Structure formats: C-alpha cells, structure tokens
Amino acid sequence: MPENSSHAGEFHRDTRYINDRIVSDLPPGSPPVLTPDGHYLWPVESGRYRLIGARACPWAHRAIITRRLLGLDSVISLGLAGPLHDSRSWTFDLDPHHKDPVLGIHFLRDAYLRRFPDYAQGITVPCLIDVTTGKVVTNNFQSITEDFSFQWRKFHHHNAPQLWPKDRCEEMRELMEWIYNTINNGVYRCGFAQSQHAYDTAYEQLWSALDVLEDRLSRQRFLMGSFLSEADIRLYCTLIRFDAVYHNHFKCNRNKISEMPHLWGYLKELFQIPAFGETTDFHQIKQHYYGVHSDINPTGIIPQGPDLSPLLQPHGREFLPGSVFPSEAGEPDRS
C-alpha cells in the first residue's frame, strides 16, 4: 500500500526513521549515549546486534549485500522476515514455528514496541536489533549501510571492497540522492501514483535517469569508475527487480532492463558476484509485490515469468578497466 499520497496524486514515502547510529568510538558493552539532537549512539560490538531484513525488500537487500561484501557475517547476525506481511508487521514465517530463533518473536513490531511502546511510524526492514534487550536500535536504511563501511571497519574482511572512495564521497552522495529520487523511489512513484499527471511525471524522470546511466555505463565499469561502490549496491537492488516486477506491476514499461545493453551487462556482472546473486530471491520478490499490493493486483496472481536465466550468461564488460576487489586488479588497499 502507498505510504502517503498528496492531493496531486503523487506518492510520497514516509521517511521518518529511528536515526540512532552504531559507532566505533564507544567502548564495547557501554550503554547508548544521548546526543544533543535527541538520538542515541550505540557502540560497535561483535555479536550484540542482529540485522533483520527480507529478501523481497530492495531497501533491506542493500544491507544484506553490504554485510556480506564486507565480511561482517560473523559479527552481525542476520534474521530474515518472509515476503508477505499484513498491516501489523513483517513476520518470521520462514523460521520454525514462525519465530525468529534469536529474538524469539513472531512479529518484527515486537522489537519496535519493546523500545517505543507507542511507536506510530512504519515497522520497516532493514533494522538493527540489540540482541541483549530485544529492542530496535535503528531502521534508517541509508545510514545502516554507510555505518557498515565506516564504523565497522575493524571487522571487515581483509580484501573487502572500499565502497566509499574517500576522495569522491560527496560526489557519490549526490549521485545516490539522484538515483534514489528518480529510480529507487521513482519506480514506486510510478506504481503508486494516484493521478495520470503524477504517473507521467515519475515515468519520464525514471526513464530519463535510466538513459543517463545507460550512457554512463557504456564508458565505465561501475557507477563511480573502475571499482564497486555503495552506489552500485543501491542501484542493483532496483535494477534486479525491474523486469520481474516494476516493468509490469508498477507500469514502468517503456522497455526492460534486458533491452538496454550496457545496464543489462552491468546488472549481469553484479548478479554474478556471490554477495549479490546469492542473496537475490526472485520467488520471494514476486511473492511480495504481487501478493501484498492488493490495490494494484487484486487477484493476487503471481506471474511465472520472465525468464531470468540470461543473468548467468557472460556479461561482456571485460573491455572496461576495473574490478570488484582491489587485489584482483593488482591495486593497493584503498581504505
């Protein structure tokens, strides 16, 4: 269901999140510290936090990919909600007895309400839960992945990619904000538009942006140049759902990503990286969108197609310089 729509029929996402951060300059085991702006800082600590995601959700998928790419699997546990949910919450129906085996809860909302008994915003994934108390820490999907890169650095795998190129961070922030507005959230602005004008505007902005990226990726291997960055993760989570869901379900149907040679080759290369492809579940993705959005798909019928096996075919981007991991290209550690 749309989170909010204006009188003009435009979809507006509710961006009120729990803006606490987990930081490296507090001693492990310490309690959260209140900041002047009314949020809390929590200490980086191995085993203390559980990431709750859902393979169906693009925003959660970012965090799942980043955690795996950086090698944080052993210090931040992962719980997965199922693809379907109702008005109450995401549920743990993939686990035995429909209960998260670590937190011992059936509904994700329970972790939110343990901390905020009168919590009135969305019960969203991804979020980080303090395992010691069972209380939610943060659900700000933008800062969760950024903090994985900067605050959890001492736990990174020795060959983890540097997802935030230190000399181009501000440039990348601007690019990611533009991608968020026109593409990541742009597909939702098409799908949940409540007027023809709102839909037409979002549709034109979406395809204008995708055309720009098609040209950009004809000249460089990844969005920021020769190496993988967080910008690529954020774009991937929309592109990988596009042909299976957004093209039809959200009426983003000028063409498919598989019909744009440079974006398609780029998407295939990312999909073939284990942290990306092995965390992508097309069945759950389609279950979620076609099963939850009853206002758009009232029959609840889940389409069988499209055939996505071509994602495993050669991507053909070797002619462009670059690599996912610095050592693969003989480059020094860029951290």
Annotated binding site: 90
| DSSP classification of residue 328 | G
| DSSP classification of residue 80 | E
pLDDT in tens, 167-176: 999 999 999 9
Q: Are 42 and 26 in contact (CB under 8 A)?
A: yes
Q: What is the DSSP string of 236-288?
A: HHHHHHIIIIIHHHT---S--GGGSHHHHHHHHHHHTSHHHHTT--HHHHHHH
Q: Mean pLDDT across the stretch 98-104? A: 97
Write the CATH number of the domain with boundaries 21-155.
3.40.30.10
pLDDT in tens, 299-313: 999 999 999 999 999
Residues of the chain with CATH 1.20.1050.10: 169-329
Instruction: Give me the percent of the chain exceeding a pLDDT of 90.
Output: 92
What are the strands of the beta sheet with 33-34, ordered from one edge?
21-23, 40-43, 33-34
Looking at residue 334, its pLDDT comes to 39
57 among known catalytic residues = yes
Average pLDDT, the chain: 94
- The pLDDT confidence band at residue 7, using thresholds 50, 70 and 90, is low
- The pLDDT confidence band at residue 324, using thresholds 50, 70 and 90, is confident
Instruction: Give me the percent of the chain exceeding a pLDDT of 70.
Output: 95
Q: Mean pLDDT across the stretch 256-282? A: 98
Q: Could you give the CA distance from residue 257 to residue 241 in angstroms, rounded to a whole number?
A: 10
87 pLDDT more than 90: no
Q: Could you give the CA distance from residue 237 to residue 184 in angstroms, rounded to a whole number?
A: 8
Looking at residue 325, its pLDDT comes to 73
Q: What angle do CA 96, 141, 40 make, to 5 degrees?
A: 100
pLDDT in tens, 18-72: 999 999 999 999 999 999 999 999 999 999 999 999 999 999 999 999 999 999 9
- Give the SS3 label for residue 149: helix
Looking at residue 335, its pLDDT comes to 37
Q: Which residues pair with 126 in a beta bridge?
A: none
Which pTM does this prediction carry? 0.95
Annotated binding site for glutathione: 90
Looking at residue 323, its pLDDT comes to 84
Count CB-CB contacts under 10 A for residue 154.
9
Residues of the chain with CATH 3.40.30.10: 21-155
- Give the SS3 label for residue 42: strand
134 pLDDT more than 70: yes
Q: Mean pLDDT across the stretch 219-237? A: 97
Q: Could you give the CA distance from residue 80 to residue 98 in angstroms, rounded to a whole number?
A: 11
Spot the catalytic one: 49, 188, 199, 290: 188
Q: Could you give the CA distance from residue 278 to residue 78 in angstroms, rounded to a whole number?
A: 15
Spot the catalytic one: 49, 57, 127, 246: 57
The β-bridge relationship of strands 77-80 and 127-130 is: unpaired
How are the residues of the chain apportioned to helix, strand and coil, as percentages rounded to the nearest 5?
A: 40, 10, 50
Residues sharing a CB contact under 8 Å with residue 116, sequence separation 6 or more, in sequence order: 136
Write the CATH number of the domain with boundaries 169-329.
1.20.1050.10
The more confidently predicted of residues 256 and 335 is: 256
Looking at residue 33, its pLDDT comes to 98
